[in-house]
């Protein structure tokens, strides 16, 4: 997992918010609810709207276009939608907030490290 710092501690004290942030070439929707933070893809899977323009209610992110709802913990769409959001892990450190991305190259590195035979 690659952890990338996205905010310093002074910003973490802000009121609840929904923000678009750009991290590692990706657009991420960052949501603060109380003391919790959630990071999701920013593009709505229904028709591509900007989720950072949506609203948050009961830890569900509601898209501003057609009101589809997504659970911020699991990414699941509401019953009957049949879709989901990518959720990215968040961790708080002494110097700020970090979001984690899977290491895209881990498989390739492992492949070359152990080779085809696995020796
Ligand atoms: S684009 Fe988000 S609900 Fe339709």
* Ligand 1 pocket residue status of 65, Cβ below 6 Å: yes
* Ligand 1 pocket residue status of 23, Cβ below 6 Å: no
Atom nearest to 68 CA in ligand 1: 3
Per-residue pLDDT reduced to its tens digit, 60-114: 999 999 999 999 999 999 999 999 999 999 999 999 999 999 887 777 777 777 7
Quote the DSSP letter at residue 14. Answer: S
Mutating to test ligand 1, I would choose from 29, 62, 66, 75 the residue with most ligand atoms within 8 A of its C-beta, which is 66
- Residue 116's pLDDT is 56
Q: In angstroms, how far is the first alpha carbon of the chain from the final one?
A: 25
Residue 94 C-alpha to ligand 1 middle, in angstroms? 36
Atom nearest to 51 CA in ligand 1: 2
Q: What is the pTM of this model?
A: 0.86
CA separation for the pair 91, 36 (Å, rounded): 10
Answer CATH for 2-114 from 2.102.10.10, 3.50.50.60, 3.40.50.920, 3.40.430.10: 2.102.10.10
Domain ranges of the chain: 2-114
CA distances in angstroms from 35 to 13, 32, 44, 105, 111, listed in the order given = 9, 7, 24, 33, 40
Per-residue pLDDT reduced to its tens digit, 5-40: 999 887 777 899 999 999 988 999 999 999 999 999
């Amino acid at each position: 997992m690659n952890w990338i710092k996205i905010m310093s501690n002074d910003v973490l004290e802000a009121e609840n918010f929904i923000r678009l942030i750009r991290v590692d070439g990706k657009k991420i929707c960052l949501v603060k609810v109380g003391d919790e933070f959630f990071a999701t893809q920013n593009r709505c899977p229904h028709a591509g709207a900007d989720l950072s323009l949506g609203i948050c209610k009961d830890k569900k992110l509601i898209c501003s276009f057609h009101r589809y709802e997504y659970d911020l913990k699991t990414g699941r769409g509401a019953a009957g939608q049949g879709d989901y959001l990518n959720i990215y892990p968040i961790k708080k450190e002494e110097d700020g907030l970090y979001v984690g991305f899977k290491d895209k190259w881990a498989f390739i590195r492992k492949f070359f490290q152990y080779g085809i035979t696995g020796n």
